Amino acid sequence: MAVSGGGDSLALLHLAVEAGCTVAVATVDHGLRPEAADEAAAVGAACAALSVPHDILHWRWDGQGNLQDAARRGRIAALAAWAQGRGLRAVALGHTQDDIAETFLMRLARDAGVDGLAAMAARREVDGIAFLRPLLGVGRAELRGWLLQRGVSWADDPSNDDPRFDRVRARRALAAMADAGVDGAAIAALAGKMAEVRAALEATTAEAAARLVRIDGGDVILDTQGLAALPAEIRRRLLLAAVMWIASAEYGPRGAEMERFVAAALEGRVATLAGCRTSHARGRMRITREVRAVAGLSCPVGALWDRRWRVSGPDSNGLTLRALGEAGLAACPDWRAAPYPRTTLLASPAVWDAGVLVAAPLAGFGAGWVAQCQPPRGPLAAAPLSH
C-alpha cells in the first residue's frame, strides 16, 4: 500500500494490520518540500513498529505542466514499478469519500461531462498493477477519529491549506456547502450515480462497436452510415475510444477538438487528432496512426513500440524498431499487395539495422517476422478483428 504519512493512508495501514493482512508499504517523496524526507522516515518508523516492510520512492518534477497532475502521474508510475519489483499484484490507496466529493467539485468547475463527474473507481489497472481504493465509503473525519482513539498521530501536508491548488479550494467549498445541507456524503452519492450512468453509456458504446467497428492491423474501421445514425454521445464515445487506443493515450481529447473531429467524420473529410488520421472509402472510415506522431519513436526489437506493438523474428540482436516511413516503404517491393493502405504502412513498425530495413511485417517484407498489436480495451474490445 501507498502511505504518505497523512491521516487517510495511515488509517489504511493500521486498518489493514488490524485485519490481519500481510502488507508492504511505499512512501513517495516528491522532493517538493524539505519536510517530506522526515515524513517518509516517520512512516518508516511506524511500519517498523508494526513489522511491516517499507520503501521510500523518489520522484522529481521536471517543471513541465501542472504540478499536482504531474506529481499524481509520477507517483502512480513509481508505485507501479515498485509493486512489479516486489512481485505484488495490487497497491491500496487511502482515498476517501471526501476525495470523491472534492474531485466532483473540481471537475464540475471545469465543465466536465459524465465521465469526469463519475466517482473515482474503486479499482483501476496501471502497467499490470491493480490500484485499489478500499476506503471510498468512509469519511476523512471518521478515519481520523479512529486514529485518535488509538493514539496514532499523522502529518498534515501544508499544501493542503494552499488556496493556489484546485483541491484546496474545492475542500473549502465543500465545507461551506455543508452549512446548506449538502455534505461530502451527498456529493459522493451523486458521483456514484454518475458512475452508473457512465457504465450504461459504455455498455451501449460497446454494443455499437460490435456492430459498426472492425479492428484491422492496428487501425479502426467504422461504418460511416451506422456511425451517423448513433446518438451523439455514443458516436462521440466510439470515436474517442478509437483515438485513445490508436494513440495509446491515458486521457483523450475533449471539447472543441473532439467536436471538430466528429464533424469531419460525419462529413467524410480527412481529419487528424491526437496523432491519428482518418481516411474515407466505400462507406467506411479508417482511423490510423499518423506517421508524424511516430517518426521519432524507436526501441529495441522485443520492446513495446508506440506503446502498442511488439515485433518478433529470427534474430533481433542489435536491431531497432522504428516507423517504416517513406524510405522504408520504398524498400518494400510488394507493399501494394499488403492488405493495408499506404498511410497505415507508413506508420507501421519496422525492423532496422542502422539505416538498413530488415523487416516490415505489415508490408509483407522480411520472412519470419511478425508484428502484434496490443488488443483494445473498453468498448472497442467488443469489435471483431480482421483476418
Dist. CA 240–CA 242, nearest whole Å: 5
Q: pLDDT-derived band of residue 319, with 50, 70 and 90 as boundaries?
A: very high
Where does the pLDDT of residue 158 fall: very low under 50, low under 70, confident under 90, or very high at 90 and above? Answer: low
Burial 202-218 (b: 16+ CB within 10 A, else e): bebbbebbeebbbbbbb
* pLDDT value, residue 36: 81
Distance CA 43, CA 157 (A): 14
Cβ(95)–Cβ(136) below 8 Å: yes
Question: Phi and psi for 214 in degrees, rounded to 5?
Answer: -135, 135
> Would you say the pTM of this structure is higher than 0.75?
yes
Tell me what the mean pLDDT of segment 362-374 comes to. Answer: 93
For 89-121, b/e burial (b = at least 16 CB within 10 A) is eebbbbbbbbbbbbbbbbbeeeebeebbbbbbe
Confidence of residue 159 (pLDDT cuts 50, 70, 90): low
What value does the mean pLDDT take over residues 36-64? 88
**Residue 367 pLDDT:** 87
Mean pLDDT for the stretch of residues 101-111: 83
- pLDDT band for position 20 (cuts 50, 70, 90): very high
Higher pLDDT, 358 or 175: 358
Helix (H) / strand (E) containing 201: helix 184-212
